[in-house]
Every structure is written in structure tokens, then in C-alpha cells.
Amino acid sequence: MNKENFYLEILHVDKKTKARYGILHTPHGDVETPMFMPVGTVGSVKTLSPEEVKACGSGVILANTYHIHLRPGEDIVDKAGGIQKFMNYPGPMLTDSGGFQVFSLAEKRNITEEGVTFKSHLNGDKIFFSPEIVMDIEQKIGADIAMSLDECIKYPATYDYVKDSTLRTLRWAKRGIAVHTRKDQALFGIVQGGEYPDLRKYCAEELVKMDFDGYAIGGTSIGEPKDVCFKMIDYAVDYLPFDKPRYLMGVGSLDYILEGIARGIDMMDCVLPTRIARHGTLMTHFGRVNIKNEKYKEDFTPLDPECDCYTCKNYTKAYLRHLYVVNEAFGQRLLSIHNIRFLISIVEGAREAIKEDRFEEYKNEILAKYGDKRGF
């Protein structure tokens, strides 16, 4: 597809790993890679304004095709001039295909060659998604990057099931490409194949033949062991083009982000940082902090002295705990700002380490200092 206004410029590859530094050029501006992308499920990163997300250093942020289709509807977003104008975010955006929401929210779903039928999590109404319908929705939403419809395969699954599903995902990819006509919107294919190396390889190679603008690695971070997730990435990356973006879907913990970068991933996203923030869990350079803990009641020090976010520069643990205990919305906002900025700053450091050929040392240093094997 190779759109002139969307391309990845790789500027340096780390000498010891597959980590790479580059610039992603998009219709709404240029952003550095690798990057962590905050998730704005319904056209908003929960509790934060677009200006606050931008101040955290965000490049691309996500909106969710399924949720926006339900509310307010893609036609309204289209009439507003596209998702950026609708939500007043000046930077690049990405919409997913809704495939993960079908997997995670729909209790009963019927997958056929034509598409997937499932029920709305809001009111039980029947919904049908096909590759063509999803492309129509995403083109009306108008983000810089759209994703092909795929099946997010559960883990574990048998080889035969994964094979059949992967082949269907490839057929859906062809159908989606055939109806994608926006010249100002890139389209990514999604590599499936479960934990089976031959299926991952085959899926990646077949998607590359279709010449997508970028490639995502799907079906990871859905409950599989950490080593299996990393193998899934390895099984796909080697067969993807060097000069196109590689997107690891649904990854937001510190260890997964850094291990993804080490394997040549350019883009990652997750709701994790804002979700755990709303429940009082913070990621810091020195490990996890549970702000609900009584010991912070009279702690008048910053949440993370090494963090440069608005929260850490202006508020103490005692005040943040107070806001959380009294269920003040401002507290959720401050905690979300911190977690988003923390992850983005870690990836900013990774970019500098790649340019200086010391990414492996940087990764090990960050993880050793953090000290939590779960990464959040």
C-alpha cells in the first residue's frame, strides 16, 4: 500500500539486540519510535484531557472501534471531521478492529466465514462485524491507522483450531484491504498463529504479500505465560519487513514493554496504566506503590523522586492517598497522569539507549531497580 504520507524511518538499530529507533511519519505529525500508546477507549483517555495526555509525551493514542460504534456512532464522528477533531487531540491516532472486544466482552459469539455475530455488552443487542463493516466504521472514524478485523484466539487453543482461525483471519485481511480506500489512513494487518511457530511464520509471510502499511502481533498478553508471549513475538518479527512499523497489541507492563522493544517492536498499547491507577496502584522507578497503604498517610514526599510528571512535581504521597481514600476524581486524574508519564518516560529512555547501543544494559538496569517480576 505504501502511502506517501505514512512511513517509518528507521534511524538506528542497537548493536546487541533487535531494538530500533526511528520516526513514524503520519498525516497528523511525526512521532518517535519505539513508543507506548495510551488508550482512549471511547475517544477519551479515562480521567485525562487530551492536553494532559499530550503533556505526558504521548505520540499516537488509540480509540476503540467497537465502543465508538456503539456510542456515539461512527457517523457522528465522521460529521465532526474525524476522531482528532471530535476529541480535540492534535496528534496521530489509531483505531483497533474490535476483534479483542469480541473476545473479551462478548459471552456468546458466533464466528463464521462472513464475520462474527455477538451481543452488545451494553444492552444485549445483536451486532455483526465483517471485515467490510469494520473497514467502513474505521474509515469514518478517520484515525491515521486502522486495523484489520481478526479473531483474537483464546489461550490455550489446539493446533487445528488456531490453524483454521489464522487462515480465516488471512482471508478477512484480504477482504478488508479490498474495501479500504482512504488515502490518508494507513492499514495494518494482524499476525495471529497462537503459540505455534509455523502458523505465526505463515501468517506473517502471507500478510506481507498483501503489502500492509504496518503489522501488528496479536493474540498475546491474554493469559499465556510470559515466555510463551515472548516466543510469539519472536516467531513473527523475523518475517516482517524491516522498514514498516511493528505493533505489539495490548502490552502495558514494564517488563513486557522492554522485552518487546528488545525484539524489534516499535509500538505498544494498553489500558493497564490508567486502570491500575484508578485502583490506587502506581508504577515507580523503585517498584509498585499501593497508595491506599496506611504508611503513606503522613508521607510528605513525592510519589517518585525520579519522575518528572505533573503529579510528582507538585503533590505528596499523603495528599494522593487522601484523594484516593475520599474517592476524589482529582486523585484518579493525578494517579493516571503519573502512570502514563512513567511508562512514556521509560520508553523515551529506551530510545536514547538504543541510539547509544546500550539498550540491553538499560533494560536490565530498569527491571532490576523496579524489582517486581510482574512489571506493574
In order along its 376 residues, the chain shows pLDDT tens digits of 556 799 999 999 999 999 999 999 999 999 999 999 999 999 999 999 999 999 999 999 999 999 999 999 999 999 999 999 999 999 999 999 988 887 776 667 899 999 999 888 899 999 999 999 999 999 999 999 999 999 988 899 999 999 999 999 999 999 999 999 999 999 999 999 999 999 999 999 999 999 999 999 999 989 899 999 999 999 999 999 999 999 999 999 999 999 999 999 999 999 999 999 999 999 999 999 999 999 999 999 999 999 999 999 999 999 999 999 999 999 999 999 999 999 999 999 999 999 999 999 999 999 999 997 778 8
Listed in sequence order, the residues at least 6 apart from 15 whose beta carbon sits closer than 8 Å to its beta carbon are 357
Name which CATH class applies to 7-270: alpha beta
Residue spans per domain, the chain: 7-270, 277-369
C-alpha cell at 316: 505528596
Q: Are 98 and 85 in contact (CB under 8 A)?
A: no
Q: Are 151 and 116 in contact (CB under 8 A)?
A: yes
Q: Are 13 and 19 in contact (CB under 8 A)?
A: yes
Residue with cell 544494559: 361
**pLDDT score at 100:** 82
C-alpha cell at 94: 489509531
Q: Are 57 and 345 in contact (CB under 8 A)?
A: yes
Active site residues: 96, 269
Of 297, 232, 280, give the one whose Cα is nearest residue 259: 232
Q: Are 247 and 188 in contact (CB under 8 A)?
A: yes
Q: Is the pTM of this model over 0.85?
A: yes
Q: Which residues pair with 111 in a beta bridge?
A: 116
